[in-house]
Structure 1
């Protein structure tokens, strides 16, 4: 990358609105987001967002694609990587004793860490999707995983439909409760191997700096707790969420975690997050 290009990027990111959009797309990479979701997450008017997206596109920092009448935007990872490399080129005169590496090294294979893998599922309220995921991973894993769930704005109460569905599906629901994300942080909190968000709102928020650099991915799906209508319609929404998570968690549990390196684990986690429910 040359200096004029880097200066243009710095100028583009020197605006709070454009920087917030860029950081949102960086958090959600490789996912592509619709403008309506970005406007809500960044608290921007649609007209303002449109102008910022055009400027970010001109700087090569984001890319777009059209699906029917809908537009989707995502991080241009190549340009972003070139930009950060340019900024840190010859940092500390390339002395490894002074300068930390710019990217985390791959973790040791899974067999180097004894015990079950620790997995955290995050959604906003920790009343439905993340609770379902916690229980499904626990039971499908059959002792291979230690599972947790939490909410960025925990409701403090598990949705009754969640408990009813799990109970009818022969899962142990004793002790399930809604937990705040703060309970999963601090010196006494578990060190997670994997962190999965299961709702778009939680994925769009700034992430805590998790110790141990866990593999993270977004396994988003509609919120069954937000569905209104007849009892049958609500039950159907919860059943669909259960089926989607069951499909993804079965695929994850089948992975040979002990033999996959970090990049392979990340690719598999991203792939699984897009799986639809099996019929």
Structure 2
């Protein structure tokens, strides 16, 4: 039996962007992929943002069961080795730890819809739009030829997904 491909999504608070990505990938293909999410230590939210809950509920996608967690959970020795780390907030790239096993990394820059919104409805609208965009990228990701693929070509393909609109 083939092991699942471990993907870790990183955002600042681990309450909206990375949660949407984790939930969406798990929804699309939880047999081949193990989706995880995390945020910056000291900046984590206490709970998943209500806009993320509403966006996922409207799309019929289950909310991840784990609460917001720090990237320290995945960076320590003995933690599950990620195959890919996808950062959703460009300001976090230089701050991230060394990931065990040197996984391939990509930046899929998304705005902080909570910080950019003027109210709850704006946040929900932004979360829905973000979920649509993430879903399209993740649909392409799950359809990449993973087993036996050239690692360099696969890394380039995952990074190229960042440039989709």
Provide the TM-score with structure 2 as the length reference: 0.91
For the pair 1:182 / 2:72, whether they are aligned, the reply is yes
Structure 1 regions of 5+ residues with no counterpart? 1-112
**SS of structure 1 residue aligned to 2:35:** strand
CA displacement 1:210-252 (0-9 Å, x = unmatched): 2222111001111112133244322221111111111111111
**SS of structure 2 residue aligned to 1:135:** helix
* Match in the other structure for 2:160: 271
**SS of structure 2 residue aligned to 1:156:** coil
* Match in the other structure for 1:150: 38
User: Is the CA contact 2:22–2:36 (under 8 Å) kept in the aligned structure 1?
Assistant: yes
d(CA) in 1 for partners of 2:74, 2:11: 13
The structure with the greater share of residues assigned to helix is 1
Provide the TM-score with structure 1 as the length reference: 0.55
Residues 202, 166 of structure 1: CA spacing in aligned structure 2 closer, same or farther, 3 A cutoff? same
User: Is the CA contact 1:140–1:250 (under 8 Å) kept in the aligned structure 2?
Assistant: yes
Identify the match of residue 99 of structure 2 among 210, 214, 222. Answer: 210
For the pair 1:119 / 2:7, whether they are aligned, the reply is yes
d(CA) in 2 for partners of 1:266, 1:154: 28
* Match in the other structure for 1:256: 145
CA displacement 1:41-86 (0-9 Å, x = unmatched): xxxxxxxxxxxxxxxxxxxxxxxxxxxxxxxxxxxxxxxxxxxxxx
User: Is the CA contact 1:131–1:149 (under 8 Å) kept in the aligned structure 2?
Assistant: yes
**SS of structure 2 residue aligned to 1:195:** strand
The count of corresponding residues between Structure 1 and Structure 2 is 163
Residues 169, 176 of structure 1: CA spacing in aligned structure 2 closer, same or farther, 3 A cutoff? farther
**SS of structure 1 residue aligned to 2:114:** helix
Structure 2 regions of 5+ residues with no counterpart? none
Identify the match of residue 29 of structure 2 among 141, 147, 155. Answer: 141
Q: Which runs of 4+ in 1 moved over 3 A?
A: none
User: Is the CA contact 1:127–1:158 (under 8 Å) kept in the aligned structure 2?
Assistant: yes
d(CA) in 1 for partners of 2:111, 2:104: 23
